[in-house]
């Protein structure tokens, strides 16, 4: 089966493809622009010329605008005297300009448009693939992957479907993504070799992505000098180790001259790191940064460092504190080409978390904020869960005056894409990928506008209202029927799908809700709890400190309260739990009906795939509702005020 066209169906090119266009400038990405236009004109009867002189034309795409202002990726767009002009200083900018015109459709060729400048707010807009080369006995081909196999790898080898990879690069460019890390941050034995003897396979992928301005990055193991180099140590301050990395990195750049850099998960969930040698994470990151610097590369060093072998009896250790406690003291010690990659929340991609207090706490350190497009904890691409509003809240949050989107140098998402013909398993999960790219380009963009854009491109105008109804509130719906009020987890251990309220309660992972007969939640206050709330600057530290001022949706993240505690909404905690769980399921039922009504307006294969997933979502949502409600009814003994069925 041909892969789904996603947000680039042929019809999206009708407006440009039926016009007369002139392309001015040279370079590989300008060639891509030309090829895109030639293909569109072949289909819709327009024409495209290259060069300086041109007869009358409707659209000009030209290199030559102010490089200082636009950089390589920015562009301007204007329309006057019946002609639309896109100018850029670099080929990437021209390509983004072309996709901008595609998004505008016929509007690009109507009336007058004053000149407008478009420059990405974040220089790096990246997807991290958690793809394994060899199938992992527990995690499979793609760790936390819900879209079939890997686009890049299969059963220990390069998959070799470079045309598919090229199409992927094209979709990414059309929503503004410019970097991809091609393997899992948990680097197992086979994958370690991508850095050295298997770099050619990475180079092939890089070659397929390059025409769309997407640079390739690699996850590497900190122990590479030991496991690949035969050295007795991986100590980042050892000269032999440093020389090994310098050499290995030089060879990477011979194979991939525009290689982006390394991604590293160190001292985290069993991965090796500098702690084994008594060195700091800055020592570790800086060693790799030094090897990359002569080539213009960057190391993305992940801050996801915590004790995953915690004793649940130990109430002093709080996983939420870990990233800040480990990294905030290192501010100012990281090299210029080292970027600290911080998960957006302090725990782990739950449906609701506060923004990580580490974000904003290291003003002298470059920052990448990591989101999770793959829906590990948000329905695993069997449930509709459009994450745009959540991500937008994160990016607009102001730790200390400046919004997160303005503090970050890079925005990264764990990819939700695989070898599935719909790319993302659930066809509607494509919206998350698209929204991520567009928010990374403009973090203060209205997510609803992005959703509409995605719907219009992907589905055309007819089913738009229905799609909006299905997607718009889907994150809040998911939140309603799963773990309440920011408490998190309550998922089945291991695979993390479906409810198990106590699944992680007595585990070593540091993820507890502490429900008893009187109440529920984690006391993270300074006064009586773990002190986590004190990691925030004002006003947040104070706001979160007290259950009276803490926002309802985060109450159980920060506080242990009684079931009778009254929320700002006026409801008690226990009644809130019952109400939201009944509502959540009702909302899924309603969305499923809306989807059913779109049959005939949506491509049949897509319609069938989503319809099938809705059956599973509804089954699962009911299971969540009944387990969570029964659990809290049995703990608390408090009946539902409305007498609904609880087991
Ligand atoms: O959420 C956890 C996931 C792991 C993942 C880890 C991480 C790649 O369950 O599968 O490992 O986060 O972000 O490193």
Nearest Cα neighbor of 573 from 564, 585, 582, 583 is 564
Domain 479-522+560-636 has CATH 3.90.1330.10: yes
Percent of the chain at pLDDT > 70 equals 100
Distance, CA 263 to ligand 1 centroid (Å)? 14
Considering the candidates 4, 267, 353, 376, report the single residue annotated as catalytic. 376
pLDDT tens digits for range 580-615: 999 999 999 999 999 999 999 999 999 999 999 999
For residue 169, what is the DSSP state? H
In 515-603, where does DSSP find H-type helix?
540-545, 555-558, 573-597
- Please give the Cα distance from 341 to 363 (Å, whole number): 14
Q: Could you tell me the distance, in angstroms and rounded to a whole number, from the CA of residue 133 to the centre of ligand 1?
A: 17
C-alpha–C-alpha distance, residues 223 and 233, integer Å: 8
Is 623 marked active-site? no
Confidence band for 232, pLDDT divided at 50, 70 and 90? very high
Decide: residue 526, CB within 10 A, 0-12 exposed, 13-18 middle, 19+ buried. Answer: middle
Write down the CATH number for the domain with range 124-458.
3.20.20.80
Do β-strands 131-136 and 140-142 pair in parallel, antiparallel, or remain unpaired?
Answer: antiparallel
Joined together, the tokens standing for residue 185 give 């941050």
Q: How far apart are CA 436 and CA 456, in angstroms?
A: 17
* The token pair that represents 520 in the structure block: 């529920």
CA distances from 156 to 27, 198, 488 (A): 36, 11, 35
Alpha-carbon distance of 412 to 440, in angstroms, equals 8
Question: In this predicted model, what pLDDT tens digit does every residue of 48-102 receive, in sequence order?
Answer: 999 876 678 999 999 987 889 999 999 999 999 999 999 999 999 999 999 999 9
Residue 165 — left, alpha, or beta (φ > 0 → left; ψ -120 to 50 → alpha)?
alpha
370 is catalytic: no
Looking at the domain that runs over 10-118, which CATH code has it been given? 3.30.379.10
Q: What is the ipTM of this complex?
A: 0.99
Ligand 1 pocket test: pick from 369, 376, 510 the residue with the most ligand atoms within 8 Å of its Cβ: 376
What per-residue string of b and e applies to 561-588 under the rule 16 or more CB within 10 Å gives b? bebebebeeebbbbbbbbbbbbebbebb
Does 195 score more than 70 pLDDT? Answer: yes
Q: Are 360 and 501 in contact (CB under 8 A)?
A: no
Residue closest via CA to ligand 1's atom 3 equals: 144
The pLDDT value recorded for residue 67 is 86
Residues of the chain with CATH 3.30.379.10: 10-118
Neighbouring CB atoms inside 10 A of 269's CB total 13
Quote the pLDDT of residue 136: 96
- Ligand 1: nearest atom to the Cα of 185: 8
Q: What is the DSSP string of 471-526?
A: HTTHHHHHHHHSS-TT----BPTTT--SB-TTTTTTSTTS------SSEE-----T
State both tokens at 351.
């449906």
pLDDT of residue 251: 98
- What is the location of CATH 3.90.1330.10 in the chain? 479-522+560-636
pLDDT over 70 (residue 191): yes
Tokens 């502490």 — which residue? 514
**In the predicted model, what is the mean pLDDT of the chain?**
97
**In angstroms, what CA-CA distances link 27 with 32, 55, 327?**
9, 23, 42
Closest protein CA for atom 1 of ligand 1: 348
pLDDT value of residue 56: 87
Q: What is the pLDDT of residues 98-131, one digit of tens each?
A: 999 999 999 999 999 999 999 999 999 999 999 9
CA–CA separation, 25 and 94 (whole Å) = 10
Residue 189 bears catalytic tag: no
Q: Give the active site residue among 4, 191, 348, 553.
A: 348
Quick one: tokens of 187?
Answer: 């680097």
């Amino acid at each position: 089966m041909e892969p789904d066209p996603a947000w680039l169906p042929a019809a999206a090119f009708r407006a440009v493809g039926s016009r007369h266009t002139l392309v001015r400038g040279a370079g590989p990405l300008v060639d891509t622009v030309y090829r895109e236009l030639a293909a569109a004109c072949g289909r819709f009867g327009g024409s495209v010329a290259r060069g300086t002189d041109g007869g009358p034309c409707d659209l000009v795409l030209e290199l030559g605008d102010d490089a200082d202002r636009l950089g390589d990726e920015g562009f301007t767009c204007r329309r006057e005297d019946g002609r639309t002009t896109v100018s850029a200083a670099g080929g990437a900018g021209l390509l983004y300009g072309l996709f901008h015109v595609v998004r505008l459709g016929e509007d690009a060729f109507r009336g007058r448009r004053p000149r407008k400048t478009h420059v990405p707010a974040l220089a790096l807009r990246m997807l991290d693939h958690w793809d394994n080369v060899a199938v992992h006995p527990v995690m499979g081909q793609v760790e936390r992957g819900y879209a079939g196999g890997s686009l890049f790898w299969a059963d220990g080898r390069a998959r070799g479907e470079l045309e598919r990879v090229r199409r992927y690069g094209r979709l990414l460019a059309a929503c503004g993504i410019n970097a991809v890390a091609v393997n899992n941050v948990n680097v197992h034995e086979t994958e370690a070799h991508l850095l050295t003897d298997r770099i050619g396979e990475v180079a092939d992928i890089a070659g397929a992505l390059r025409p769309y301005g997407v640079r390739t990055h690699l996850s590497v193991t900190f122990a590479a000098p030991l496991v690949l180099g035969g050295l007795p140590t991986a100590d980042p301050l050892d000269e032999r180790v440093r020389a090994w990395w310098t050499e290995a990195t030089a060879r990477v750049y011979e194979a991939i001259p525009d290689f982006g850099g390394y991604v590293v998960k160190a001292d985290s969930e069993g991965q090796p790191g500098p702690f084994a040698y008594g060195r700091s994470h800055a020592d570790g990151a800086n060693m790799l940064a030094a090897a990359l610097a002569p080539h213009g590369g960057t190391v993305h060093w992940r801050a996801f460092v915590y004790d995953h072998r915690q004793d649940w009896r130990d109430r002093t250790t709080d996983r939420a504190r870990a990233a800040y406690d480990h990294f905030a003291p290192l501010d100012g010690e990281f090299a210029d080409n080292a970027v600290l990659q911080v998960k957006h929340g302090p725990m782990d991609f739950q449906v609701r978390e506060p923004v990580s207090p580490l974000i904003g706490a290291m003003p002298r350190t470059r920052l990448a904020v990591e989101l999770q497009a793959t829906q590990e904890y948000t329905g695993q691409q069997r449930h509709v869960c459009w994450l745009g509003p959540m991500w937008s809240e994160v990016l607009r949050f102001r730790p200390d005056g400046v919004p997160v989107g303005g503090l970050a140098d890079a925005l990264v998402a764990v990819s939700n894409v695989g070898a599935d013909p719909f790319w993302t398993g659930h066809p509607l999960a494509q919206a998350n990928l698209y929204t991520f790219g567009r928010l990374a380009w403009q973090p203060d963009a209205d997510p609803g506008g992005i959703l509409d854009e995605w719907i219009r491109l992907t589905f055309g105008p007819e089913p738009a209202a229905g799609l909006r109804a299905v997607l718009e509130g889907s994150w809040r719906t998911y939140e309603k029927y799963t773990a309440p009020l920011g408490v998190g987890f309550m998922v089945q251990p291991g695979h993390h799908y479906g409810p198990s309220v106590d699944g992680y309660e007595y585990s070593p992972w540091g993820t507890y809700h502490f429900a008893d007969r009187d109440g529920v939640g984690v006391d993270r206050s300074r006064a009586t709890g773990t002190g986590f709330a004190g990691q925030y600057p004002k006003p947040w530290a104070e706001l979160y400190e007290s259950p009276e001022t803490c926002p309802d949706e985060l109450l159980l993240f920060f506080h242990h309260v009684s079931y009778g505690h009254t929320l700002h909404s006026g409801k008690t905690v226990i009644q809130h739990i019952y109400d939201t769980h009944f509502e959540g399921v009702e909302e899924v039922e309603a969305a499923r009906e809306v989807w059913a009504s779109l049959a005939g307006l949506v491509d049949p294969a897509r319609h069938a795939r989503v319809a099938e997933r809705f059956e599973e979502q509804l089954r699962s949502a009911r299971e969540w509702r009944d387990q969570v409600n029964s659990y809290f009814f049995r703990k608390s003994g408090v009946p539902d005020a409305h007498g609904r069925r609880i087991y």
